[in-house]
Amino acid sequence: MTTPAGEAADPVLPPVTQPKHGAYPHPAYAWFVVSILVLASIISYIDRQVVAIVADEMKADLGLGDAQIGLLYGIFAVFYAIAGLPLAYLADRKSRKHIIAAGVFFWSMMTVACGLSRNFWQVLLARIGVGVGEATLLPATNSLVSDYFPRDRIPLALSVFQTGAILGTGLAFVIVGFVLSIVEQRPVPVVPIFGPLAPWQQTFIIVGAPGILIALVMLIIREPIRRVLINPATGNANATFAEIKAFYKRNLWTFMLHHFGFLSFAMMGFAFVFWTVPFFSRVHDVPPAQAAQIFGWIFILCAPFGAVWAGLQAGWFNRRGYKDGNIMAGLLGGALGIPLVLLIQVMPTPTLAFILYAPAVFFVNSPFGLAYGALPVITPPQMRAMIAAIYMFVVSVGMMLGPPLAGVFNEQIFTQSDGVRYSLIALTIIFGGLGCLSLWLCRRHYARSMEEADAMEVAGSDSAA
């Protein structure tokens, strides 16, 4: 590892700015807010992952194929990405807590609507609503957390926030698998207007309802002081689209390689997780409800520590003067996950495969908190939500294409009964390799962006003195 200090050209700084002062909230309260956001993230991932766990039941009941099941996840990702940009624009200007509360309420109601749907197109429309609602969370959280913590603590705080996504994914398999196993043993209820509800429909309704309580809790937190930079020439505290475009252009290679590298890891990771239950069902004859619960517990017990480990690893690099520490830590975790995912696919027994899942989910999930955490520290405060949303738009391609692409591979290339394992091997080699290459090339450019951000922070502090 090398720090390219001294190699970069003199950074191009924006006009002299005046920071808005104000003490940061007490650390205990800041971490309390992070814990609430973690709960919201857990709910979001349970609601988005439920379709992966009831996939085979939906296929049988609605007469769907693997590609259509993958599309239900992919369409969520499309609208999750598209809605994130205007919602981020609002998050840089309006109350972040109100935006998040409204989003949690909306996506929870749309998850319930999935359970009341009678055909593929109704489920598809409800999944679009889930995507739009969940698009509120990440941009608003990036902006909110960045005003609760000093700049050097932001990557760790956002890595801890990412444990909510990881816990939510694991809890989705445990809770949804448990709910599914219970409702499958009970008589099918008949609801006025909507008629009989199959077990997969009941599961959507049961897991969607709790989010309404989280939406109410979000309303009680305090909105922190926005640490905006005011341009003295214009008196404007909000970034214009022209300023955001100029900032992206000035850091083009940093953003391109960062986005593509973590996108590649996301495509590998989303396909791996989405097709886990069908993998165990088709390759090892493990019942879906049982596979979901076993995998879910492994995910809960191992995956969150990967995100925290990556955040701590980045801090270790940064304290030793590596300006590319945030990228190096993400690269290291993703690279270590690749051989483990490949080994799982060739294990002769489900027990051995489940054992390897422990280290695999630890490393596969470790980069994604840093993917977001690496951005606010190089970004001016008034455009952090928009920059996060742009990255969210890009990485949503992983959600949009990863699971459906594996489904297409299953149907068109690896058509044998255990073809899902070969689809996952192919996607892991392709996208895991691209992720490693892109983030390795990103290191030098990211270090230059960090040096520019450091200089801008010093200039702002001097002008405020």
CATH number of the domain bearing residue 137: 1.20.1250.20
In a domain, 334, yes or no: yes
Domain count for the chain: 1
pTM to 2 decimal places: 0.70
Mean pLDDT (whole number) for 93-107? 91
**pLDDT on residue 2:** 44
463 falls in which pLDDT band (50, 70, 90)? very low
309-366-133-32 Cα dihedral, nearest 10 degrees: 0
In a domain, 165, yes or no: yes
Q: Which residue, among 113, 447, 166, has the nearest Cα to 296 in the 3D structure?
A: 166
Choose from 83-92, 234-243, 369-378, 444-453 the range with maximum mean pLDDT: 444-453
In a domain, 16, yes or no: no
In a domain, 3, yes or no: no
DSSP string, 437-451: HHHHHHHHHHHHHHH
In a domain, 7, yes or no: no
Helix (H) or strand (E) holding 196: strand 195-196
- H helices present in 92-196, as ranges: 96-115, 120-134, 137-148, 154-171, 177-183
In a domain, 1, yes or no: no
pLDDT tens-digit profile of 249-292?
A: 999 999 999 999 999 998 898 888 878 888 888 889 888 778 88
Between 3 and 275, name the one with better pLDDT. 275
In a domain, 120, yes or no: yes
Give me the residues paired with residue 195 across strands: 191
What gap in Å lies between CA 42 and CA 140, rounded to an integer?
A: 16
Contact 9, 444 (CB under 8 A): no
In a domain, 17, yes or no: no
Choose from 192-206, 287-301, 358-372, 397-411 the range with maximum mean pLDDT: 358-372
The answer on pLDDT for 17 being more than 50 is no
For all residues of the chain together, what is the average pLDDT?
82
What gap in Å lies between CA 243 and CA 246, rounded to an integer?
A: 5
130 falls in which pLDDT band (50, 70, 90)? very high
459 falls in which pLDDT band (50, 70, 90)? low
Between 22 and 421, name the one with better pLDDT. 421
Q: Which long-range contacts (CB under 8 A, 24 or more apart) does 234-240 make?
A: 237/20, 237/382, 238/92, 238/93, 238/382, 239/92, 239/380, 239/382, 239/383, 239/386
Contact 5, 183 (CB under 8 A): no
Among 60-69, 109-118, 205-214, which stretch is predicted with the lowest mean pLDDT? 60-69
Please name the amino acid found at residue 63: G
Query: What's the domain range around 114?
Result: 23-226+239-464
